[in-house]
């Protein structure tokens, strides 16, 4: 079970996409740089998994997936 996704449907791939469901920004405080992620439009909050010391690292790939997919599509069009 993918603990980062909880009780949501389980996709057939290792990655899940939730368009426009999360916003994020880099933040620096106390000598640490972190990505602050917040749910948008009623999306569920991403919780640290497996415990608070991990933060949301198990969700990192999913967080950027939509942006990376769009970037790759733009690069393919520019290259062709």
Q: CB burial class (10 A; 0-12, 13-18, 19+) of residue 16?
A: middle
- Return the pLDDT at 77: 94
- Return the pLDDT at 78: 94
Count of other CB atoms within 10 angstroms of residue 67: 10
For residue 47, give Cα distances in angstroms to 51, 55, 69: 9, 8, 24
pLDDT tens sequence across 13-58? 877 677 788 888 889 988 988 888 889 998 888 888 888 888 888 7
In angstroms, the CA 1 to CA 9 distance is 10
């Amino acid at each position: 079970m993918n603990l980062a996704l909880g009780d949501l449907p389980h996709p057939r791939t290792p990655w899940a996409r939730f368009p426009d469901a999360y916003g994020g920004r880099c933040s620096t405080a106390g000598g640490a740089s972190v990505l602050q992620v917040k749910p948008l439009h009623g999306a569920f909050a991403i919780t640290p998994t497996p415990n608070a010391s991990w933060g949301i690292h198990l969700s990192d790939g999913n967080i950027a997936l939509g942006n990376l997919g769009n970037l790759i599509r733009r690069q393919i069009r520019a290259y062709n």
